[in-house]
Amino acid sequence: MPRKKITLENTIDSLSILDEKGKVDKKLEPKLSKDDLLKLFRAMTLARRYDERMLKLQRQGRIGTYGPALGQEAASLGPAFAIDESDWYVPSFREPAGMLYRGWPMARLMLWWGGNEIGATPLPKMNDMPISVPVASQIQYGAGIAWGLKLDGGDRVAVAFVGDGGTSEGDFHEGLNCAAAFGLPLVVVIQNNHWAISLPRHKQSASKTLAQKAIAYGIDGIQTDGNDILAMVEATREAVAKARKGGGPTLIEAVTYRMGVHTTADDPTKYRKDEEVEPWKPKDPLVRFWKYISDKGVLDEAGREQMEKEVTAQISEAVEASESYEPNLMEPFDHCFAERTPALEQQRAQFEAYLNGNGNGKASGSAPVSHSAVH
Protein backbone atom coordinates (compact mmCIF):
# COMPACT_ATOMS: atom_id res chain seq x y z
CA MET A 1 0.00 0.00 0.00
CA PRO A 2 2.52 2.58 -1.05
CA ARG A 3 1.98 6.29 -1.40
CA LYS A 4 2.15 7.14 -5.11
CA LYS A 5 1.62 10.12 -7.32
CA ILE A 6 -1.41 10.14 -9.55
CA THR A 7 -0.45 12.01 -12.66
CA LEU A 8 -3.18 14.24 -14.04
CA GLU A 9 -3.55 15.81 -17.45
CA ASN A 10 -3.62 19.27 -16.06
CA THR A 11 -2.94 21.87 -18.63
CA ILE A 12 -5.40 24.09 -20.35
CA ASP A 13 -4.93 26.05 -23.52
CA SER A 14 -5.04 29.78 -23.76
CA LEU A 15 -6.16 31.19 -27.10
CA SER A 16 -5.69 34.61 -28.64
CA ILE A 17 -5.92 35.14 -32.40
CA LEU A 18 -6.51 38.83 -32.97
CA ASP A 19 -4.44 41.03 -30.70
CA GLU A 20 -5.42 44.45 -29.46
CA LYS A 21 -3.60 46.15 -32.32
CA GLY A 22 -5.75 44.25 -34.77
CA LYS A 23 -2.88 41.93 -35.76
CA VAL A 24 -3.94 38.42 -36.55
CA ASP A 25 -2.12 35.16 -35.95
CA LYS A 26 -2.23 33.72 -39.46
CA LYS A 27 -1.83 30.15 -38.30
CA LEU A 28 -4.86 30.35 -36.05
CA GLU A 29 -7.09 32.62 -38.11
CA PRO A 30 -10.50 30.94 -38.50
CA LYS A 31 -12.11 30.56 -41.89
CA LEU A 32 -14.65 33.33 -42.23
CA SER A 33 -16.13 34.68 -45.43
CA LYS A 34 -16.37 38.37 -46.12
CA ASP A 35 -20.05 38.06 -45.44
CA ASP A 36 -19.38 36.41 -42.08
CA LEU A 37 -16.99 39.15 -41.09
CA LEU A 38 -19.52 41.80 -42.01
CA LYS A 39 -22.21 40.01 -40.06
CA LEU A 40 -20.01 39.81 -37.00
CA PHE A 41 -19.01 43.43 -37.20
CA ARG A 42 -22.57 44.55 -37.66
CA ALA A 43 -23.73 42.45 -34.71
CA MET A 44 -21.02 43.87 -32.47
CA THR A 45 -21.82 47.39 -33.53
CA LEU A 46 -25.50 46.81 -32.97
CA ALA A 47 -24.91 45.43 -29.47
CA ARG A 48 -22.64 48.33 -28.57
CA ARG A 49 -25.10 50.97 -29.74
CA TYR A 50 -27.97 49.10 -28.10
CA ASP A 51 -26.14 49.18 -24.79
CA GLU A 52 -25.41 52.87 -25.13
CA ARG A 53 -29.04 53.59 -25.92
CA MET A 54 -30.25 51.48 -23.02
CA LEU A 55 -28.07 53.44 -20.61
CA LYS A 56 -29.64 56.62 -21.94
CA LEU A 57 -33.14 55.23 -21.68
CA GLN A 58 -32.42 54.26 -18.10
CA ARG A 59 -31.21 57.74 -17.22
CA GLN A 60 -34.38 59.16 -18.73
CA GLY A 61 -36.50 56.82 -16.63
CA ARG A 62 -37.84 55.02 -19.70
CA ILE A 63 -36.67 51.59 -18.56
CA GLY A 64 -35.71 50.24 -15.13
CA THR A 65 -32.32 49.27 -13.80
CA TYR A 66 -30.03 48.25 -16.65
CA GLY A 67 -27.01 45.97 -16.65
CA PRO A 68 -24.80 46.94 -19.58
CA ALA A 69 -22.48 44.55 -21.39
CA LEU A 70 -20.18 47.25 -22.76
CA GLY A 71 -16.89 45.76 -23.89
CA GLN A 72 -18.14 42.18 -23.59
CA GLU A 73 -19.75 41.95 -27.02
CA ALA A 74 -17.32 39.44 -28.51
CA ALA A 75 -17.63 36.97 -25.66
CA SER A 76 -21.36 36.42 -26.14
CA LEU A 77 -21.44 36.93 -29.90
CA GLY A 78 -18.69 34.47 -30.88
CA PRO A 79 -20.54 31.45 -29.44
CA ALA A 80 -23.86 32.62 -30.93
CA PHE A 81 -22.18 32.83 -34.33
CA ALA A 82 -20.48 29.45 -33.98
CA ILE A 83 -23.67 27.47 -33.36
CA ASP A 84 -26.62 26.79 -35.63
CA GLU A 85 -30.14 28.09 -35.29
CA SER A 86 -31.24 24.59 -34.28
CA ASP A 87 -28.76 24.56 -31.40
CA TRP A 88 -29.67 26.11 -28.08
CA TYR A 89 -28.49 29.41 -26.63
CA VAL A 90 -28.86 29.71 -22.86
CA PRO A 91 -27.92 33.18 -21.67
CA SER A 92 -27.40 34.76 -18.31
CA PHE A 93 -27.97 38.54 -18.36
CA ARG A 94 -24.89 39.95 -20.10
CA GLU A 95 -25.38 38.44 -23.52
CA PRO A 96 -27.36 41.01 -25.52
CA ALA A 97 -24.89 40.73 -28.42
CA GLY A 98 -25.47 37.00 -28.76
CA MET A 99 -29.20 37.24 -28.07
CA LEU A 100 -29.73 39.89 -30.73
CA TYR A 101 -27.69 37.83 -33.15
CA ARG A 102 -29.83 34.81 -32.38
CA GLY A 103 -32.91 36.76 -33.40
CA TRP A 104 -34.38 38.15 -30.22
CA PRO A 105 -36.40 41.18 -31.25
CA MET A 106 -34.54 44.12 -29.73
CA ALA A 107 -37.84 45.56 -28.56
CA ARG A 108 -38.34 42.50 -26.40
CA LEU A 109 -35.00 42.90 -24.69
CA MET A 110 -35.94 46.52 -24.04
CA LEU A 111 -39.26 45.37 -22.66
CA TRP A 112 -37.55 42.94 -20.32
CA TRP A 113 -35.52 45.76 -18.81
CA GLY A 114 -38.68 47.84 -18.87
CA GLY A 115 -40.45 45.35 -16.62
CA ASN A 116 -42.55 43.24 -18.98
CA GLU A 117 -42.79 39.46 -19.23
CA ILE A 118 -43.02 39.66 -23.02
CA GLY A 119 -39.30 40.46 -22.77
CA ALA A 120 -38.68 36.96 -21.46
CA THR A 121 -40.74 35.37 -24.22
CA PRO A 122 -38.74 33.99 -27.14
CA LEU A 123 -40.32 33.94 -30.57
CA PRO A 124 -42.14 30.66 -31.29
CA LYS A 125 -39.37 28.84 -33.15
CA MET A 126 -36.37 30.12 -31.28
CA ASN A 127 -34.21 27.62 -29.39
CA ASP A 128 -33.30 30.23 -26.86
CA MET A 129 -33.89 30.57 -23.18
CA PRO A 130 -34.68 34.05 -21.86
CA ILE A 131 -32.45 36.33 -19.76
CA SER A 132 -31.72 34.66 -16.45
CA VAL A 133 -31.03 36.68 -13.32
CA PRO A 134 -30.38 34.04 -10.63
CA VAL A 135 -26.64 33.72 -11.00
CA ALA A 136 -25.42 30.38 -12.46
CA SER A 137 -28.89 28.79 -12.41
CA GLN A 138 -28.79 28.53 -16.18
CA ILE A 139 -25.89 26.09 -16.14
CA GLN A 140 -28.19 23.49 -14.65
CA TYR A 141 -31.06 23.81 -17.10
CA GLY A 142 -28.55 24.33 -19.88
CA ALA A 143 -27.16 20.90 -19.02
CA GLY A 144 -30.72 19.54 -19.03
CA ILE A 145 -31.30 20.97 -22.48
CA ALA A 146 -28.08 19.37 -23.66
CA TRP A 147 -29.31 16.09 -22.19
CA GLY A 148 -32.58 16.37 -24.07
CA LEU A 149 -30.66 17.03 -27.27
CA LYS A 150 -28.49 13.99 -26.65
CA LEU A 151 -31.55 11.83 -26.02
CA ASP A 152 -33.02 13.13 -29.28
CA GLY A 153 -30.10 11.44 -30.96
CA GLY A 154 -29.11 14.27 -33.27
CA ASP A 155 -25.94 16.28 -33.12
CA ARG A 156 -27.29 19.47 -31.66
CA VAL A 157 -25.58 21.29 -28.80
CA ALA A 158 -26.39 23.83 -26.12
CA VAL A 159 -24.27 26.82 -25.09
CA ALA A 160 -24.81 28.28 -21.64
CA PHE A 161 -23.32 31.42 -20.08
CA VAL A 162 -22.21 32.36 -16.61
CA GLY A 163 -20.08 35.08 -15.01
CA ASP A 164 -16.87 34.74 -13.02
CA GLY A 165 -18.93 35.25 -9.87
CA GLY A 166 -21.31 32.56 -10.96
CA THR A 167 -18.55 29.96 -10.84
CA SER A 168 -18.80 30.11 -7.04
CA GLU A 169 -22.40 28.92 -6.96
CA GLY A 170 -23.28 25.30 -6.36
CA ASP A 171 -25.37 25.45 -9.52
CA PHE A 172 -22.25 25.95 -11.62
CA HIS A 173 -20.49 23.00 -10.10
CA GLU A 174 -23.46 20.66 -10.05
CA GLY A 175 -24.47 21.48 -13.60
CA LEU A 176 -20.98 21.03 -15.02
CA ASN A 177 -20.26 17.93 -13.03
CA CYS A 178 -23.42 16.22 -14.24
CA ALA A 179 -22.91 17.39 -17.81
CA ALA A 180 -19.42 15.88 -17.71
CA ALA A 181 -20.52 12.67 -16.01
CA PHE A 182 -23.26 12.20 -18.62
CA GLY A 183 -21.09 13.33 -21.53
CA LEU A 184 -23.62 15.97 -22.56
CA PRO A 185 -23.25 18.23 -25.62
CA LEU A 186 -22.89 21.37 -23.55
CA VAL A 187 -20.54 24.31 -23.95
CA VAL A 188 -20.28 26.53 -20.90
CA VAL A 189 -18.90 30.00 -21.47
CA ILE A 190 -17.69 31.92 -18.44
CA GLN A 191 -17.67 35.61 -19.13
CA ASN A 192 -14.86 36.48 -16.78
CA ASN A 193 -15.24 40.24 -16.66
CA HIS A 194 -13.08 40.35 -13.53
CA TRP A 195 -15.82 41.61 -11.23
CA ALA A 196 -18.91 40.28 -9.55
CA ILE A 197 -20.46 43.57 -8.55
CA SER A 198 -17.74 44.67 -6.07
CA LEU A 199 -15.89 41.40 -5.65
CA PRO A 200 -12.77 41.21 -7.81
CA ARG A 201 -11.93 37.99 -9.61
CA HIS A 202 -9.01 37.10 -7.33
CA LYS A 203 -11.25 37.17 -4.26
CA GLN A 204 -13.89 35.04 -5.96
CA SER A 205 -11.76 31.97 -6.33
CA ALA A 206 -8.23 30.84 -5.48
CA SER A 207 -7.98 29.08 -8.85
CA LYS A 208 -5.34 30.57 -11.12
CA THR A 209 -7.72 30.36 -14.04
CA LEU A 210 -11.42 29.60 -14.14
CA ALA A 211 -10.93 27.38 -17.18
CA GLN A 212 -8.88 24.96 -15.09
CA LYS A 213 -12.01 23.99 -13.18
CA ALA A 214 -12.71 21.83 -16.22
CA ILE A 215 -9.85 19.55 -15.21
CA ALA A 216 -11.63 18.56 -12.02
CA TYR A 217 -14.72 17.59 -14.00
CA GLY A 218 -12.71 15.57 -16.44
CA ILE A 219 -13.51 17.75 -19.44
CA ASP A 220 -11.59 20.17 -21.63
CA GLY A 221 -11.15 23.73 -20.55
CA ILE A 222 -9.79 26.61 -22.56
CA GLN A 223 -9.08 30.20 -21.70
CA THR A 224 -9.69 32.63 -24.52
CA ASP A 225 -9.17 36.30 -25.05
CA GLY A 226 -12.84 37.19 -24.61
CA ASN A 227 -12.40 40.48 -26.41
CA ASP A 228 -11.11 38.70 -29.51
CA ILE A 229 -14.08 37.72 -31.62
CA LEU A 230 -11.94 35.38 -33.73
CA ALA A 231 -10.75 33.47 -30.68
CA MET A 232 -14.31 33.24 -29.39
CA VAL A 233 -15.57 31.89 -32.71
CA GLU A 234 -12.71 29.44 -33.00
CA ALA A 235 -12.86 28.14 -29.42
CA THR A 236 -16.61 27.61 -29.64
CA ARG A 237 -16.35 25.94 -33.03
CA GLU A 238 -13.88 23.43 -31.64
CA ALA A 239 -15.99 22.76 -28.56
CA VAL A 240 -19.14 22.41 -30.63
CA ALA A 241 -17.52 20.08 -33.15
CA LYS A 242 -16.34 17.87 -30.32
CA ALA A 243 -19.76 17.90 -28.61
CA ARG A 244 -21.52 17.02 -31.87
CA LYS A 245 -19.35 13.92 -32.13
CA GLY A 246 -20.27 12.82 -28.61
CA GLY A 247 -17.15 14.27 -27.00
CA GLY A 248 -19.03 15.89 -24.12
CA PRO A 249 -18.87 19.33 -22.57
CA THR A 250 -16.22 22.04 -22.77
CA LEU A 251 -15.61 24.93 -20.44
CA ILE A 252 -14.53 28.17 -22.09
CA GLU A 253 -13.28 30.99 -19.93
CA ALA A 254 -13.63 34.18 -21.93
CA VAL A 255 -11.33 36.73 -20.34
CA THR A 256 -12.94 40.12 -20.75
CA TYR A 257 -13.64 43.16 -18.64
CA ARG A 258 -16.66 44.95 -17.28
CA MET A 259 -16.01 48.41 -18.69
CA GLY A 260 -18.95 50.06 -16.99
CA VAL A 261 -21.20 49.76 -13.99
CA HIS A 262 -22.50 46.41 -12.78
CA THR A 263 -25.95 47.85 -13.29
CA THR A 264 -27.20 51.39 -13.30
CA ALA A 265 -27.94 50.94 -9.58
CA ASP A 266 -24.24 50.41 -8.94
CA ASP A 267 -21.44 52.87 -8.17
CA PRO A 268 -18.11 51.23 -9.03
CA THR A 269 -16.10 54.16 -7.68
CA LYS A 270 -16.74 52.68 -4.25
CA TYR A 271 -14.65 49.61 -4.94
CA ARG A 272 -12.65 49.92 -8.15
CA LYS A 273 -10.03 52.38 -9.26
CA ASP A 274 -10.35 54.08 -12.62
CA GLU A 275 -6.72 53.14 -13.27
CA GLU A 276 -7.76 49.54 -13.39
CA VAL A 277 -10.17 50.23 -16.24
CA GLU A 278 -7.68 52.22 -18.35
CA PRO A 279 -5.54 49.34 -19.66
CA TRP A 280 -8.66 47.60 -20.88
CA LYS A 281 -9.74 50.46 -23.10
CA PRO A 282 -7.32 49.63 -25.93
CA LYS A 283 -8.40 45.99 -25.70
CA ASP A 284 -11.89 46.91 -26.90
CA PRO A 285 -13.26 44.10 -29.07
CA LEU A 286 -14.77 46.46 -31.64
CA VAL A 287 -11.68 48.57 -32.12
CA ARG A 288 -9.42 45.64 -33.00
CA PHE A 289 -12.01 43.92 -35.15
CA TRP A 290 -12.61 47.10 -37.10
CA LYS A 291 -8.90 47.37 -37.69
CA TYR A 292 -8.84 43.76 -38.85
CA ILE A 293 -11.70 44.01 -41.31
CA SER A 294 -10.73 47.40 -42.65
CA ASP A 295 -7.15 46.19 -43.20
CA LYS A 296 -8.64 43.24 -45.03
CA GLY A 297 -10.72 45.60 -47.15
CA VAL A 298 -13.98 44.07 -46.00
CA LEU A 299 -15.45 47.41 -45.02
CA ASP A 300 -14.35 51.00 -45.51
CA GLU A 301 -15.08 54.15 -43.57
CA ALA A 302 -18.07 55.02 -45.75
CA GLY A 303 -19.47 51.54 -45.42
CA ARG A 304 -19.08 51.72 -41.70
CA GLU A 305 -20.88 55.05 -41.52
CA GLN A 306 -23.73 53.58 -43.52
CA MET A 307 -23.83 50.60 -41.16
CA GLU A 308 -23.94 52.88 -38.14
CA LYS A 309 -26.87 54.74 -39.68
CA GLU A 310 -28.78 51.53 -40.23
CA VAL A 311 -28.05 50.38 -36.72
CA THR A 312 -29.24 53.66 -35.25
CA ALA A 313 -32.45 53.42 -37.23
CA GLN A 314 -33.00 49.85 -36.12
CA ILE A 315 -32.56 50.81 -32.49
CA SER A 316 -34.90 53.79 -32.74
CA GLU A 317 -37.51 51.55 -34.27
CA ALA A 318 -37.13 49.09 -31.42
CA VAL A 319 -37.44 51.87 -28.85
CA GLU A 320 -40.65 52.97 -30.49
CA ALA A 321 -42.05 49.45 -30.66
CA SER A 322 -41.20 48.75 -27.03
CA GLU A 323 -42.70 52.00 -25.85
CA SER A 324 -45.95 51.44 -27.67
CA TYR A 325 -46.39 48.13 -25.86
CA GLU A 326 -49.08 48.03 -23.19
CA PRO A 327 -49.13 45.06 -20.86
CA ASN A 328 -52.44 43.29 -20.42
CA LEU A 329 -52.87 43.24 -16.67
CA MET A 330 -55.18 40.21 -16.74
CA GLU A 331 -52.57 38.08 -18.47
CA PRO A 332 -50.68 36.82 -15.39
CA PHE A 333 -53.80 34.84 -14.47
CA ASP A 334 -53.53 32.99 -17.78
CA HIS A 335 -49.97 31.83 -17.35
CA CYS A 336 -49.62 30.60 -13.78
CA PHE A 337 -50.90 27.13 -14.69
CA ALA A 338 -52.18 25.56 -17.88
CA GLU A 339 -55.57 25.72 -16.21
CA ARG A 340 -56.58 28.16 -13.50
CA THR A 341 -57.20 26.68 -10.08
CA PRO A 342 -60.53 27.51 -8.42
CA ALA A 343 -58.68 29.92 -6.12
CA LEU A 344 -57.09 31.71 -9.06
CA GLU A 345 -60.42 31.86 -10.85
CA GLN A 346 -61.86 33.65 -7.85
CA GLN A 347 -58.85 35.93 -7.49
CA ARG A 348 -59.02 36.78 -11.15
CA ALA A 349 -62.63 37.91 -10.80
CA GLN A 350 -61.73 40.00 -7.77
CA PHE A 351 -58.80 41.54 -9.59
CA GLU A 352 -60.93 42.40 -12.59
CA ALA A 353 -63.46 44.09 -10.35
CA TYR A 354 -60.66 45.98 -8.69
CA LEU A 355 -59.33 47.19 -12.03
CA ASN A 356 -62.74 48.27 -13.16
CA GLY A 357 -63.20 50.35 -10.06
CA ASN A 358 -59.73 51.71 -10.34
CA GLY A 359 -60.54 54.52 -12.70
CA ASN A 360 -57.15 54.45 -14.43
CA GLY A 361 -58.74 52.08 -16.90
CA LYS A 362 -55.30 51.20 -18.16
CA ALA A 363 -55.87 47.63 -19.14
CA SER A 364 -59.04 46.70 -17.37
CA GLY A 365 -61.11 44.37 -19.44
CA SER A 366 -59.32 45.47 -22.58
CA ALA A 367 -58.59 42.94 -25.27
CA PRO A 368 -55.16 41.34 -25.07
CA VAL A 369 -52.63 43.52 -26.81
CA SER A 370 -51.17 42.00 -29.92
CA HIS A 371 -47.50 41.27 -29.66
CA SER A 372 -46.84 41.85 -33.30
CA ALA A 373 -45.35 45.24 -32.55
CA VAL A 374 -42.43 43.66 -30.82
CA HIS A 375 -41.48 40.99 -33.29
Partner 1 sequence: MAMLNMAKALNLALREALAENDKAIILGQDVGYDEGVFRITEGLLKQFGEERVVDFPVAESAIIGLAIGLCVTGYTPICEMQFSGFGYHGFHQIESHATRLRNRTRGRFTCPMVIRMPYGGGIRAIEHHSESRETIWAHLPGMKVVIPSGPRNARALLRASIQDPDPVMFYEPKASYRAFREEVPDEPETMEIGKAQVVREGNDVTIISYGASMRPVLEAAEELEEDHGIDAELIDLLSLVPLDRDTINASVRKTGRCVVVHEAPKHIGPAAEVVAGIVEDSLLYLEAPIERVTGYDLVLPFFNSELPFMPDVRKVISATQKVLSF
Per residue, what are the HEC states of 312-362? HHHHHHHHHHHHCCCCCCCHHHHCCCCCCCHHHHHHHHHHHHHHHHHCCCC
Q: Which of residues 104-163 bind Mg ion (CB under 5 A)?
A: 163
Residue 234 DSSP symbol: H
* CB nearer to ligand TPP: pick between 242 and 258: 258
Per annotation, catalytic residue among 42, 53, 102, 258: 258
173 is catalytic: no
Please name every residue paired with 128 in a beta bridge, in sequence order, or none if there are none: 89
Q: Which of residues 313-332 bind partner 1 (CB under 8 A)?
A: 327, 329, 332
What sections of the chain are H helices per DSSP? Answer: 34-59, 73-82, 96-102, 106-113, 137-152, 170-181, 201-204, 213-217, 229-244, 274-277, 285-295, 301-323, 342-358
Smallest gap, in angstroms, from Cβ of residue 259 to Mg ion?
Answer: 12
The C-alpha atoms of residue 338 and residue 327 are separated, in whole angstroms, by 20
141 binds partner 1 (CB under 8 A): no
Smallest gap, in angstroms, from Cβ of residue 260 to ligand TPP?
Answer: 11
Check the CA dihedral 237-13-29-230 and report its sign. positive
Q: Applying CB under 8 A, which of residues 69, 80, 97, 355 lies at the interface with partner 1?
A: 355
258 is catalytic: yes
Distance of CA 57 to the CA centre of its chain: 20
Partner in contact with 94, chosen from ligand TPP, partner 1, Mg ion, none, beta carbon below 5 to 8 Å by kind:
ligand TPP
CB-CB contact of 18 with 231 (8 Å): yes
Entry field: residues in the chain: 375
Check the CA dihedral 247-232-39-117 and report its sign. positive
166 binds ligand TPP (CB under 6 A): yes
Q: Closest by alpha carbon to 39, among 283, 284, 298?
A: 298
Q: Closest by alpha carbon to 373, among 315, 312, 324, 311?
A: 324
Smallest gap, in angstroms, from Cβ of residue 80 to ligand TPP?
Answer: 17
68 binds Mg ion (CB under 5 A): no
Start-to-end C-alpha separation, the chain? 67
189 binds Mg ion (CB under 5 A): no
Q: Which of residues 194-233 bind Mg ion (CB under 5 A)?
A: 196
Helix axes 34-59, 229-244, angle to 10 degrees: 110
213 binds ligand TPP (CB under 6 A): no
271 is catalytic: yes
Q: Which of residues 192-211 bind ligand TPP (CB under 6 A)?
A: 193, 195-197
116 binds partner 1 (CB under 8 A): yes
Q: Which of residues 52-111 bind ligand TPP (CB under 6 A)?
A: 94
241 binds partner 1 (CB under 8 A): no
Tell me which residues touch partner 1 (CB under 8 A). 64-65, 112-117, 119-120, 131, 133-136, 165-166, 168-171, 196-199, 203-205, 265-266, 270-271, 327, 329, 332-333, 336, 341, 343-344, 347, 351, 354-355, 357-358
Q: Which residues bind to ligand TPP, rule: CB under 6 A?
A: 94, 133-135, 163-166, 191, 193, 195-197, 258, 262
Residues lying near Mg ion in the complex (CB under 5 A) are found at: 163-165, 193, 196
Instruction: Return the active site residues.
Output: 258, 262, 271
